[in-house]
Amino acid sequence: MNVLVTGAAGFIGLHVAERLLARGDRVVGLDVLSDSDHVPLKHARLARLTNPGFTFVQGDIAEPEVLERAFSQPVDCVVHLAARVGVRHSVAHPAPYIDTNLVGFSRVIEAARRHRVGHFIYASSSSVYGNNDQLPWCETHTTEQPISLYAATKKANELIAHSYSHLYALATTGLRFFTVYGPWGRPDMAFFTFAENILAGRPIRLFGHGAVRRDFTYIDDVANAVVALVDRPPARETSPTQTPYRILNVGNQTSIEVPRLIALLEEALGVAAIVEPVPMQQGDILATCADVSALEALIGPWHATPLELGVKRFVKWYRGEYRPLN
């Protein structure tokens, strides 16, 4: 297949592109290589994509001429992962989220429609569930009250995708990712900041005084799910409303308290952490947990990587490949 992956130099984008190339697909990777992420890390991710089936286009998804370059060859499927990420950052800096997550998303899905793409997969987020305390979260639960601008942009993406599926028969799949972690991740993520502070002897801020729980989902599991869905677009015939649209949770199905994560990092790093309990931050959610039965119905049994194993793999990469980049 010919697959366009936006955000190809990003965390999930890298892993998805690698797997698509490994199975013989041709991949066009689109990324702005902006300073919103650690730039040397983005270039290091991109350097891994040396397969001759990979073509890179640099540019902003909100720029029509950039999208025309990305769609210059036929595209069977779009995996749209380019976005401004981070709940807390969106509270202080809303404008870039509107530019990328709303304007950029709209232009990518419109380009997919014009170029008659067969399947449009895009990243949504578990944050759309807001402070719903009915765990585990199921795709049928209400998502009408997001508590951060980031979550609101992701909910808006789902609504835009539904309209495109209904009006233009564009097959769309939205994936609500739950706290993805692992090698080649983002430096602003808790795994990075916790590890860095532990090794430097600095305190770790423990939001919610240690009561916060997350469904930590290992990157390999996420990438495998995305690639498995590339070949499985929703069809009008399987939808009661004749709309080829669906939303799926992608998570570990386990809600783990953050102090447990810190303990696993201490064990893997061989250094004790200094913990500073602090209140919840604005826009944060107390607990997350995914129901993935809908995903399993499509791709088969879900064998999620345990956090204990995922943390060991992350620390091995962090010490061996990431730290020399700084």
Q: What per-residue confidence (pLDDT) applies to 243?
A: 94
The pLDDT of residue 36 is 61
Mean pLDDT of 87-114: 88
Per-residue CA distances from 73 to 7, 70, 202, 206 (Å): 18, 8, 50, 48
Residue 67 has pLDDT above 90, yes or no: yes
Our CA angle for 108, 111, 115, nearest 5°, is 140
Is residue 52 reached through a cis peptide bond, with omega within 30 degrees of 0 on the bond before it? no
Q: Which whole number is the average pLDDT over 94-109?
A: 92
What's 2-181+216-250's CATH class? alpha beta
Per domain, the residue ranges of the chain are 2-181+216-250, 190-214+253-291+299-325
Mean pLDDT of the chain: 93
pLDDT per residue over 290-319, tens digit each?
999 999 999 999 989 999 999 999 999 999
90 has pLDDT over 80? no
Q: What is the pLDDT of residues 118-128, one digit of tens each?
A: 999 999 999 99
**What percent of the chain clears pLDDT 90, i.e. is strictly above it?**
78
- Rounded to the nearest 10 degrees, how much is the dihedral formed by the CA atoms of 261, 141, 96, 186? 20
The distance from CA 272 to its chain's CA centroid, rounded to whole angstroms, is 30
Place of tokens 């997919």: 112
> pLDDT at position 246, please?
97
Of the chain, the percentage scoring pLDDT greater than 70 comes to 97
Q: Interhelix angle for 307-317 vs 258-269, to 10°?
A: 50
**pLDDT of 87:** 67
Residue 219 has pLDDT above 80, yes or no: yes
pLDDT greater than 70 at residue 88: no
**How much is the average pLDDT of 129-151?**
91
Once rounded to an integer, what is the mean pLDDT over residues 142-155? 90
What digits encode the pLDDT tens for the residues 236-292? 877 777 899 999 999 999 999 999 999 999 999 999 999 999 998 776 788 999 999
User: To 5 degrees, how large is the angle CA 308–CA 294–CA 285?
Assistant: 55
pLDDT of residue 62: 94
CATH architecture of the domain covering 190-214+253-291+299-325: Alpha-Beta Complex (3.90)
Q: Are 33 and 59 in contact (CB under 8 A)?
A: no
Alpha helices in the chain (DSSP H): 11-22, 39-47, 64-70, 87-92, 94-97, 105-114, 149-168, 190-200, 219-230, 258-269, 293-299, 307-317
Q: Which H or E element spans position 236?
A: none
Band of pLDDT at residue 86, cut at 50, 70 and 90: confident
Q: Is 150 a catalytic residue?
A: yes
pLDDT digits (tens, 9 = 90+) for 2-37: 999 999 999 999 999 999 999 999 999 999 997 665
Cβ contacts of 235 within 8 Å, gap of 6 or more: 171, 244
pLDDT band at 93 (very low <50, low <70, confident <90, very high): confident
Q: CA angle 61-62-64, nearest 5°?
A: 90
The confidence band for 325, taking pLDDT boundaries of 50, 70 and 90, is low
Token code pair at residue 88: 């807390």
Q: Considering 150, 164, 181, 322, which one is annotated as catalytic?
A: 150
Please say if the pLDDT value at position 324 is more than 80.
no
